[in-house]
Structure 1
Amino acid sequence: MSIENLIKMANQIGQYFASEPDREQAVRGVRQHLKSFWTPAMLRDLKAWLEQHPDGDLHLLVQAALLEETAKA
């Protein structure tokens, strides 16, 4: 899958969880969704892209979820 599609889907997930008033819970929701429904390859590709483009156009909740997941690994 192209990185453009991964970013688009990730941003849609982030936008969905943005309505959650508790930011920590929103980040957990994004992280759980990615863990439950994305393949390891999709996550690996998105994480690699984020490392190379830290100022890229990726929803802040998704960035936080990916960074927390990386920190736990």
Structure 2
Amino acid sequence: MKADYLVEMVNDIGAFFTSEAGLKEAPKGVADHIARFWDPRMRREIIAHYQASGGTGLSDVSLKAIALLAQQAALASSGAR
């Protein structure tokens, strides 16, 4: 899947959670949504985009959410909790 499409999807989810939960809680809501409902390949691709480009195209809320997911993925791959 193209990174541009994933970025658009994350930003749409971010806009929803910002309107529902506010700026403070939105990144966690976005990260939780992606962790629960996105295919693992999509999660890996958006994390790779974040790591390769610094999150080009992501809104502030979405950028924070993907940073959380990247951190969680790194912890999971290292076996840490």
What's the TM-score, normalizing by structure 1?
A: 0.83
How many residues end up aligned between the 2 structures?
A: 72
Gaps of 5+ in 1: none
Distance in 2, Cα, partners of 1:44 & 1:68: 13
Give per-residue Cα distances to partners, 1:7-66, cap 9 Å, x unaligned: 11111001111122351x211110111011111110111111111211611021121112
Distance in 1, Cα, partners of 2:10 & 2:55: 15
Amino acid at match of 2:62: V
Higher relative contact order structure (alpha carbons within 8 Å, sequence separation ≥ 6):
1
Q: Which runs of 4+ in 1 moved over 4 A?
A: none
Gaps of 5+ in 2: 76-81
Name the larger-Rg structure. Answer: 2
What's the TM-score, normalizing by structure 2?
A: 0.76
Query: Where does residue 21 of structure 1 map in the other structure?
Result: 22
